[in-house]
Structure 1
Amino acid sequence: SSPSPPPLGTFIDNGALELVEVLGYGGYGVVYRAVDTYSLKPTSYAVKCLPHSQKRNTARQRQLHMREITLHKLASAHPNVVTLHRVIEDYQYTYIVMDYCPDGDLFAQILHHRRYLGNNALIKDVFLQLLDAVEYCHSLHIYHRDLKPENVLCFDGGLRLAITDFGLATTDEMSTEFRTGSVYHMSPECQGAYFTPTRTYSPLFNDIWSLGIILLNLITGRNPWKSAAPDDCTFQAYLRDPLHFLPTVLPISEEVNQLLVRTLEVDWRHRITLREMRAAVKEIDSF
């Protein structure tokens, strides 16, 4: 079993950081807000705490932690990727020290603050920021595989976005690790058998599908279906009439519909590229 997470008030990094608040829990461990005890003006950081497992699979787990850290660090040079400042190790935990954002994640901005509804200029601006970040990751052959509003953090009251959580990221051009990510934003081919004629899928085009769902989240505050799978009746309805279905259930413009038909293309081999997506988004006047 893994050690229980460190209590609030714990000091790490030779006393330089104090863990003062829990920001969130996940399958990986806990994210804290930590305060820099040495600086004159108190600076906050987000600290992700990964416990070291006591079980036999420790080597595999260690490998996954190192993969996450390495890929996040590489991507973190981009302004729309959350900055990873440093990594601290002790015998029980690995701590990843990152930018803290008091404005929370994109999920909260969409759901609780209704930040983007009806604001065409803002939707375009922040979605292009996301495209920038993902395009940068892809240029380094880093594929995120868990793009969703909960993994996009907000700065400046939601005007600047940055992606985070590289726990499922890969550098594999083709993958057999199915069902990675959250089901609302997962491409049909990543869910396995039914839509995967090739027994493998492209993490790159899986990310593009996820971006299409995030665009819908930004515009409408809703998800088009629960799962892009054969047993989801809303997704089935989309498959029966992909050219016309989305505007009948969601308040989107025909311009957006045209883009989404190409983004939410079930055969990933015919899906839109990021470059084409950027060009299309720039042309949209009304979302």
Structure 2
Amino acid sequence: MLDRIDATSITTIQLYNQPFIRAFEMTPSLPTFVPATQLPLAIDNGRLVLQDMLGVGAYGSVYRAIDTQTHQTYAVKSLNKAGLNSRQCAFQNHEAQLHAKVSGHPNIVTLHKVVEENDCLYMVLDCGMEGDLFYTITERGGFVGNTMAIKTIFSQIASAVLHCHSRGVYHRDLKPENIIMFGRSVKLVDFGLATTEPVSSEFGCGSTFYLSPECQGGFIESVKSYDSAANDVWSLGIILINLTFGRNPWKQACPRDETFSAYAQHNDFLQTILPMSTELNEIVKGAFCLNPKKRITLSELARRVQACRFFTTPEFPSEASVVSAATAASQASFSTTMSGVYPTSNLHGPDDKEDSGVDLQSMA
């Protein structure tokens, strides 16, 4: 049984002032450059020369690479195979197989080839040079107050996930860090936690802030499995809040989180702490339906977001005046070239910690 809390004790100010830390501290927003002497010189029979490191984790790294024949730039994700048993190696191959299965969609990073050498599995990917969606939200003014930009980006993300689901692939780690900017477009990446199981019993897959209650084992009562597609829809609901308000609705969808518990008791609660329009409130209530069998479908979620006239209440622009200049800059330079990054969230070890919070801007 849920413990009751006083919902009125959670104010908008309290919510806005809570810190939000990136899902994995080892995953940088922008590349951490290292001397070339510390990098493997080249792979694929010398065709791909590794230039610098874009991200690093416990089990591997992501590099920027140049094709010596075409001079094309790629991102190369390196997964270390040294010391792994056959099951662990199969898991690495599984990521590449699932990514290849959904490649070819305009909003999914293309996996061009897989190279195995030097005790590593190298995945050769599109290289975006403008950072990830998290960086865009927190550092470039994001999309706050820009209804059309929110609709455009969310439509692309939803299209990518719909494509995955149509191919029988469920991502399970949807978050802004796994969405790369390519000019006015975005592309989904990182299938390290993806599955082909429509119903999964692998709990805790993903990042704390974006996990559905059932993916954590259940909210009110324990469950033995969960719907993989419905779990992705929940994560997309969180991303929609990220785009609209530059923050998360709660730290974790579990009983010990006061904000989420308040929402579970009264599903209009978010509208009392965020300047959310009635239209958007109804949409997110569908995405955050505690019963995954009754949760809004992905296609319906995408349709309703596009049909939504207003994401925020009329008074929100005055509340957001502090970010208006940043928003204007974002609209004016949406395709400004910046240094690239590729997430390595599934490269982290089991002891890595996540810092919870709500406000994305505060940690940038």
Same fold (TM over 0.5): yes
Query: Size of the alignment, in residue pairs?
Result: 275
Summarize the Cα distance change of 1:195–1:81 in structure 2 as closer, same or farther, 3 Å threshold.
Answer: farther
Pick from 72, 81, 89 the counterpart of residue 99 of structure 2: 72
**Is 1:186 aligned to 2:217, yes or no?**
no
Determine whether 1:167 maps to 2:192.
yes
Match of 2:129 among 74, 98, 102: 102
Report the RMSD for the aligned CA atoms in angstroms. Answer: 1.4
Is the CA contact 1:46–1:100 (under 8 Å) kept in the aligned structure 2? yes
2:48 to 17, 26, 51: 17
- Corresponding position: 1:44 with 2:69: no
Aligned residue type for 1:281: V
Residue in 2 that maps onto 1:8: 39
- After TM superposition, the score normalised by the length of structure 1 is 0.92
2:184 pairs with 1:154: no
Distance 1:196 1:100 in 2: 43
Identity %: 45
The one-character-per-residue Cα deviations of 1:176-205 (angstroms, maximum 9, x if unpaired) are 100000000010100114446541101110
Q: Which runs of 5+ in 2 are unaligned?
A: 1-36, 312-364
CA distance in 2, matches of 1:240, 1:260: 15
Cross-structure match for 2:88: 61
Matched residue of 1:123: which SS? helix
In 2, Cα distance between equivalents of 1:25 and 1:209: 28
The one-letter amino acid paired with 1:38 is Q
* Contact 2:142/2:246 (<8 A) preserved: no
Give per-residue Cα distances to partners, 1:95-131, cap 9 Å, x unaligned: 0000000011100000111231111011001101111
Distance 1:100 1:201 in 2: 33
Question: Once structures 1 and 2 are overlaid, which stretch shifts more, 188-197 or 253-262?
Answer: 188-197
Q: How far does residue 21 in structure 1 lie from its aligned partner after superposition? A: 1.1
Per-residue deviation, residues 26-76 of structure 1 (Å, max 9, x unmatched):
34411111111223xx32110000000314xx2111111111111101111
Quote how far apart the aligned CAs of 1:214 are: 0.3
AA aligned to 1:155 is F
Query: Which amino acid counterpart does residue 245 of structure 1 have in structure 2?
Result: F
Q: What are structure 1's unaligned runs of at least 5 residues? A: 1-5
Asked whether 1:258 is paired with 2:289, we answer: no
Give the counterpart letter for 2:54 in structure 1: L
| TM-score of the pair, normalised by structure 2 | 0.73
Structure 1 residue matching 2:140: 3-state secondary structure: coil
Q: Tell me which stretches of 4 or more aligned residues in structure 1 moved more than 3 Å.
A: 193-198
Deviation, 1:276, is 1.2
Q: Which residue of 1 aligns with 2:17?
A: none
Post-superposition shift, 1:10? 1.4
Give 1:125's aligned residue: 152
Query: Which residue, 246, 254, 258 being the options, matches 1:233?
Result: 258
Q: 1:196 to 1:171 in 2, by over 3 A?
A: farther
Distance in 2 between residues matched to 1:63 and 1:114, nearest whole Å? 41
**SS in structure 2 opposite 1:268?**
coil
Match of 1:132, as an amino acid?
Answer: S
Q: Describe the SS at the equivalent of 1:212.
A: helix
Bigger drift between 230-239 and 20-29 goes to 20-29
Q: Which has the higher contact order (CA 8 A, sep 6+)?
A: 2
Secondary structure of 1:30's aligned partner: strand
- Classify the secondary structure of the residue corresponding to 1:269: coil
Select 2:61's aligned residue among 30, 52, 77.
30
Alignment partners' CA distance in 2, 1:274 and 1:53: 39
